[in-house]
Every structure is written in C-alpha cells, then in structure tokens.
A and B are shown apart, each in its own frame.
Chain A
Amino acid sequence: MTTETPSKPNRFTGAFIQSVEGLGKGLIDVVSSIGGVVALGLDVFRWSVRRPFRLHNLFTQLDFVGVGSIFIVGLTGTFTGMVFALQTSTAFALFDAESLVGPTVALTLTRELASVFAALMVTMRAGSAMCTELGTMRVTEQVDALETMAVNPVQYLLVPRVLAGLFMVPALTMLFNTTGMSGAYVVAVFGLGISPGTFLSRTQQWMAPADVYEGLLKGAIFGLSVALICCYKGFNASGGAKGVGQATTEAMVSSALAIFILDFIVGMLMH
C-alpha cells in the first residue's frame, strides 16, 4: 500500500517528462538538420565557383535529373491539367461561367501546382537515387577514397547534383505548365465543348508573365532545397545498408515537407 500510492504520480510524471524530452530531442534534430543543410548549401556554393569546373559531371546530372524526368513530368502535367479542367468545369457550370476554366487552370498551374508537382516528381525519381548513391558511396568508403586522392567530394559529387536540381526543376516546371495547359485545352475544347477562342482569350486576359515567373522561381527554390536535402542525407549516411535505407526515407519525407512549407512561405512573401 505504502509503496503503490506514490508510484502513480511518479509514473505519470515520468511519462510526461519522457514525452517532453522526446519532443525536445525531435526539435533539436530538426534544427540541427536544417543547420546542416544550410551549411552544406554554403559549402556547395563555395566549391561551385572554384576550379576545376567538371562540366562532364554537371551535364551527366543535368541529363539524369532533367532529361530523365521529362516523360514522368510531362505525363503528370497532362493528367493534372485534364482532371483540373474537368473538375473546375463542373463547378463553373453551376453559375454558367465555363469560360473561366482556362484561366483558372492556367493560374493554378503556373503559380502553384506545376512547381510543386515537378519538384515532387524530381524528389521521387532523382532525389532518391542521389541519396542512395551518395549514401552507398559513404558507407563503402568511396567518399573517403575521393578525399585521399585529393579530390574534394563536395565539389566532385555534390556541386553537379545541386546545380542540376537548381536548373532543371524550373525547366521541368515550364514543361509541366505546357503539358498541363495542353491537357486542359483538350478536355475543355474537345470534351466539354468550350470554344478554342474563348479558352485561349480568357486565359490570355487573366494571366500575366509574372504568374509564370513566380512558378519558375518557386521551381528553382524547390529544386535547390530538394537536391541539398537529398545530398545532405546521403552524404551523412552511416551504418551500412540499413543506414542508407533510413537516410533515403528521411530524405524523401524531409524533401516533400520542405516543398510544401517553402511553397507557403514563398507564396506569402510574393503576395
């Protein structure tokens, strides 16, 4: 009796302290990861402006990240535009405003969806490969081997990957805009019977080049962030195959979260 009574509040206090500790540890992990990614970004910038410029490595990564993602981004863009046209037309039909389908799809794609979806596709396709490759190189001492051969691994491995993310995600965003609008045009004109002139003139009337630029800027920010996060996680992987798998999972989750959080922050700053 005497021992049981005081143990109850102790257990409760213990659980409370444990959960606070867990929360604190999680917060510290998040903050130190953000710090690590930012520090890596500065390091990448420092090494990207120094000789030797390894153009072959850069073009290999531009091809892998950009050209290799054309099909998947184009396909996603087409279907996103098509389904968006279909759904908005149903809503606009309620108050006889189907002519606004074109501009609605265009503004949503250019300002928001194209950059977010293109970055998500690049994260899944190229970011995961970057993280796994770098992680495997780290745990099999290939990164150390580079250092011992007087080749800076940040300059040799990370600079081309991060630059590829920075340059190719905006390009893929533009591709997403184009295929998305083409898909929307097909559904609106051939499926819903909206006249081509109405679709195009209304889109032209409501859209400004600034809308496209906003999307491209977001694409560049997302591309840079995603590439940095995936490189950071892979480059700091440890603990063999399990560690590489864990690093890749963390890279995917962190990249997706970063895209949505940055989308909100950039959107808020621009409007």
Chain B
Amino acid sequence: MSSATAPGSERAMIDIVDLHKTFAGNKVLTGINLTVPAGSTCVILGGSGSGKTVLMKHMIGLLKPDSGKVIIDGQDIVPMSVEALQQVRRSFGMVFQAAALFDSMTVFENVAFPLRQHTKLSEDEIREQVRKRLDLMGLKREVEGRFPADLSGGMRKRVGLARAVVLDPKVVLYDEPTTGLDPITTDSVDDMILTAQKELGVTSVVISHDIASAFNVANQIAFLSKGVIVEYGPPEKLRESQHPAVQVFLQTWFGKN
C-alpha cells in the first residue's frame, strides 16, 4: 500500500484512504491513498486501464468503493445517501473527455443549466454569469447560440469547463482533457486549466496520459499503476523516479526529447 501526500501540503480538499474497487473479480483499485491540497492542481498520470477514471468517479461519488474512505473537504462521502451526495456534488465541477454537453441545448443553455437548477437568479443575472464564464474561457459571444455539434473539440472543452465552473465549485475534475486534440488546442486547454486555478482558486484533479500536458499544469503528479499510486509529488520528483513503471512511461516522451 502506498501513501501519497503532497509535501508541505496545507488543508486537504480531497483525501482518499485505502481505496479498493473490484469489477467482476478484476481488481482495479488495490489500496489508493492520495491527498490533494486545497487550491492545487493534481494530475493523476497512468496508462490505459490503470484505473484513473475509476478513481476519479469515486471522488465525485459516481462509484462506491468496496472499502476505503473518500473524504471531501472533511466529509467522508462513501456512506452518504443519494440526497446528501447531491449536496456535496454542488461543490464539484467536472469536465468530461468528450465534454458531455447536452446536445439538445445551445452553448448558452448548457452553461446556464446548473444556475437554473440550483439558484433562483433572474434571467438577466444568469446571462451575466454565463457571459462572465464564457469570456473567462475566451469564447466569443457568437458561440452562445450554437449547438455543441457545431463546435470544434477545443471549443467544446472550453464550454464544458465554463459549465463546470459556473456555480463556483471548490473542486474541478478533468477527465483526460487533452485526449484526441492537436498540439495547439492541447496548449489552449492547458491554459484553460491554469486560468481556472489562478482566477477562480479551484482545486483541480486532472486524469491524463499526456505527459507534456501533465508537466505544464500540475503542482503534484500522482502516478497510477496496477491499481496503486506508485509515485506522488511535484513534477520534478516524478522525473527522478526510480520506479520501473514510471521510468518506462516517461521514456516514451522524455526519451525522444
């Protein structure tokens, strides 16, 4: 069992303790320990099938573990009822790999959706809030009336993040945000993650197998292999790691540069 606590960390926003999860006899998570300090960006790096998405789904309560604790801002969400979990989820925003925008709604309606569901703001106030987030993500006014199908991959990600941060969450989770994007768009998505951290002060958890992007945005990187975190710390620490799985993974990128 490996323990992963950020060196010199302050208050923990996410604290995962000895998390185990098995699907149909297949052990996916085998004792995860991870602490993400408030206000930092933690990238969970690992190859396909290493359990990154499963770990992230536990953080927001979409999956229940076989054993272990998921403590969010001091509260263990594992034993919580659906209703209590809904309250906790209000402090989360999530950006999905394919953005998961509601395709029957326009960009404006997508970003306004959480405000309409959880606040009693007037239409004018909703418009103001939505435009503020779209501006922050560098999206122009003309995209407001477009449907998700008419947007590029990078724009969809930006709208996804604008929707994720519209309720001023404490934590934003990113599910492989740069997968399938060209290098320029990848760069702009990295900027978007950094902007969200700097401007809004959110705690970010990014799951990725994109090493370059991870080194760009991370305060800490956790390396997940075979269901456990084998390395955790600032990007420089990962670079010096002697763990064979980390070395093989990093060689695919650093080896060529």
Contact = CB atoms under 8 A, between A and B. Distances in A.
Interface of A: 136-137, 140-142, 144-145, 147-152
A147 B92 CA distance: 11
A142 B100 contact: yes
A148 B103 contact: no
Given A141-B96, A145-B96, A145-B101, 20 more contacts: A140-B100, A141-B97, A142-B100, A144-B62, A144-B100, A145-B94, A145-B100, A148-B60, A148-B62, A148-B89, A148-B94, A148-B173, A149-B89, A149-B113, A149-B114, A149-B117, A150-B86, A150-B89, A151-B117, A152-B82
Query: Which 8 pairs, one residue from A and one from B, show the smallest C-beta to C-beta distance?
Result: A145-B100, A141-B100, A150-B89, A148-B94, A150-B86, A150-B90, A141-B96, A149-B114
Given A140-B100, A141-B98, A142-B100, A148 B117 contact: no
24 contacts: A137-B102, A140-B98, A140-B100, A140-B103, A141-B97, A141-B98, A141-B100, A142-B101, A142-B102, A142-B103, A145-B94, A145-B101, A145-B102, A147-B62, A147-B89, A148-B62, A148-B89, A149-B113, A149-B114, A150-B86, A150-B87, A150-B90, A152-B82, A152-B86
Contacts of B89: 147-150
A144 B94 CA distance: 10
A155 B114 CA distance: 15
B118 interface: yes
Interface residues of B, number: 23
B92 A148 contact: yes
Interface string B91-129: 011101110111100000000011001100000000000
A137 B104 CA distance: 10
A150 B82 contact: no
A75 to B, nearest CB: 28
Nearest to B104: A133
Interface of B: 60, 62, 82, 86-87, 89-90, 92-94, 96-98, 100-103, 113-114, 117-118, 163, 173
Contacts of B103: 136, 140, 142
Contacts of B96: 141, 144-145
A220 B62 CA distance: 34
B170 to A, nearest CB: 13
A144 B102 CA distance: 11
A151 B173 CA distance: 17
B163 to A, nearest CB: 8
Contacts of B86: 150, 152
Nearest to A47: B82
Contacts of B118: 150
A257 to B, nearest CB: 30
Nearest to B61: A147
Contacts of A142: 100-103
Contacts of A151: 117
Contacts of A148: 60, 62, 89, 92-94, 173
Q: Which of A141, A144, A145 has the most CB of B within 10 A?
A: A145
A42 to B, nearest CB: 14
Contacts of A147: 60, 62, 89
Contacts of B98: 140-141
A149 B82 CA distance: 13
A151 B103 CA distance: 17
B247 to A, nearest CB: 33
Contacts of B82: 152
Nearest to A156: B117
Nearest to B93: A148
Nearest to B166: A149
Nearest to A145: B100
Contacts of A145: 94, 96, 100-102
A154 to B, nearest CB: 10
A145 B163 CA distance: 10
B160 to A, nearest CB: 9
